[in-house]
Amino acid sequence: MDAETVYLFRHAVVRDAAYELQLPRDRAKLHELAFYLIEQAFGGRAPALAPLSEVVQPKLKIHPTDSVALELYRHANLALTHTPQAEKSDLAELRIRYLRRSAEYAEVHFQFHQSADAWEALAALLDESNGAEALRRAGVSARVTGDSKRGAALLQTSLARSRDAGQRLFEGKALCDLATLYRMTGRLDESIRLHEDAVVVLRETGDHRGEGIALANLASIYQVTGKAELSEKIYQEAVAIHRAVDDKRSEAIALTNLGLLYREAGKLTRSEEYCDQALALHREVGNLGGEGSTLGILAVVYERTDRIDQAAELYARALAIHREAGDRRFMGTVLSNFANYYRVTGDMKLAEETFGRALQILREVGNRLGEAKALERLALVHEASGDMEASERAVEQALGVYRAVRNTRAEALASCNLALIRVGRKQEVAARSAWASGVESLRVLGDDAAIESKTAELREACAAAGIEPFS
């Protein structure tokens, strides 16, 4: 250990010892002094924000003290610890003010772990209705970080407190956010029920903005469960509401999801049109995460329309945006699509590595549908590399996920793909079983185009394997 390290270590020890030697009341005065000096040094007192119980929440106007708001809260909190609050009523209000501003400031800068902690701490200092809204905001921040367990606990507590306080509007918001988390973690039945409850409550309370958001979220569930027509109808209804209340942010998100819906339906021109509209709105309102999601969807459209270089550029931009925003959920989706780009362009080693990274994130954040799609694409990488056993294993895993999230069409197509792999491995009995299951589901869905396409693939696979076609 060199001399300077020893000096610094001893200096810290001396500093802490000197601090501990102060009487608690004197320490409180030191923290109070530090609070006022820091506040003065950073431009003076920040204005109070509208109570959380107010329906309309203005966008945060950045103040110079916002960068040290959390530090100001800590000094105020320590100053109040050993001082009767009756003597320090102004400081008690300022403690809440700066903690609230630190939570808002962290959100603006995509520091969602910090914002979740700040909102949760704030909830303990507020009354029932304002505290319930702070917990809801904490739950949303936790959900964005991928901490689904913490997010669910916070949102469930927010919902209970809103109901106890008779705050129907905030009950509706908490229902909507909890339903969204359940959708993201594959609890679809609960998500549908809560979204339907949220629509009723928000419509009843006249929160048409919230109603539009809840409808769009409900549409997204029908989207992932293969009910494309119903999903499109509800999305369009949501977009109409967003436009009526001039909610450009939510309109952009719904347009992005419609772009994805049309892309998956093979309507690539329409998908691109909706993504372009969404991008303009995301940039207008400064929704960086929404911009990244839309770029990721558009990149796949470019890839499927042979604009390979432009697709690679969009994938890279989308990934950079999600990293900056700290949004691991969408980072996993973009990585999966980027991995598929490597597969299509023939770089199987990089494709396999990138799918591995994508799957780790997708599983970590509970994006089950994204996990299943990544597994199916990884199966194609294994197939191209000649590892048919690994390919079959990946499709079987994907099939299990599709069943769990009740995406009937995706499950049917995966079952047909599993049959094709088993034909290639000359496992005729197992192939027939998987094929019968998949085709029957497609018949029930009325998807004749998919049956025709998969039948053509089956005939080709049977011919290559020397097996009599059994479709």
Instruction: Give tens-digit pLDDT for 319-332.
Output: 888 888 777 778 88
pLDDT band (50, 70, 90) for residue 86: very low
pLDDT band (50, 70, 90) for residue 397: very high
Q: What is the pLDDT of residue 9?
A: 47
Reply yes or no on whether the pLDDT at 17 is more than 70.
Answer: no
The pTM score is 0.62
Helix (H), strand (E) at residue 6: helix 3-21
Reply yes or no on whether the pLDDT at 271 is more than 90.
Answer: yes
pLDDT band (50, 70, 90) for residue 409: confident
pLDDT in tens, 410-453: 899 999 999 999 999 999 899 999 999 999 998 888 888 889 98
Average pLDDT over residues 300-311: 91
> Cα 388 from chain centroid?
34
Biggest CA pair distance of the chain: 90
CA distances from 61 to 48, 57, 101, 104, 114 (A): 11, 12, 10, 10, 19
User: Distance from first CA to last CA of the chain, Å, rounded?
Assistant: 76
The 3-state DSSP class for residue 288 equals helix
pLDDT band (50, 70, 90) for residue 27: confident
Angle at 84 between CA 80 and CA 86, to 5 degrees: 105
Q: What is the pLDDT of residue 16?
A: 56
pLDDT in tens, 35-74: 999 999 999 999 999 999 887 788 889 999 999 999 999 9
The 3-state DSSP class for residue 336 equals helix
Closest among 397, 394, 384 to 350, alpha carbons compared = 384
The 3-class SS string of 426-457 reads CCHHHHHHHHHHHHHHHHHHCCHHHHHHHHHH
Residue 34, classified by CB atoms within 10 Å of its CB into exposed (0-12), middle (13-18) or buried (19+), is middle
The 3-state DSSP class for residue 307 equals coil
Cβ(195)–Cβ(179) under 8 Å?
yes
Tokens of 402: 């599709």
Q: What is the mean pLDDT of the chain?
A: 88
pLDDT band (50, 70, 90) for residue 6: very low
pLDDT in tens, 92-106: 999 999 999 999 999
pLDDT in tens, 105-159: 999 888 889 999 999 999 999 998 899 999 999 999 998 887 888 999 999 999 9
Distance CA 414, CA 405 (A): 14
Reply yes or no on whether the pLDDT at 289 is more than 60.
Answer: yes
Distance CA 304, CA 300 (A): 6
**Domains of the chain, CATH where assigned:** 207-326 (1.25.40.10), 328-399 (1.25.40.10), 407-471 (no CATH)
Q: What is the pLDDT of residue 45?
A: 94
Reply yes or no on whether the pLDDT at 180 is more than 80.
Answer: yes
Listing DSSP states for 44-57 in one string gives SPPPPPPPTTSS--
pLDDT in tens, 329-353: 788 888 898 898 889 889 999 999 9
pLDDT band (50, 70, 90) for residue 200: very high
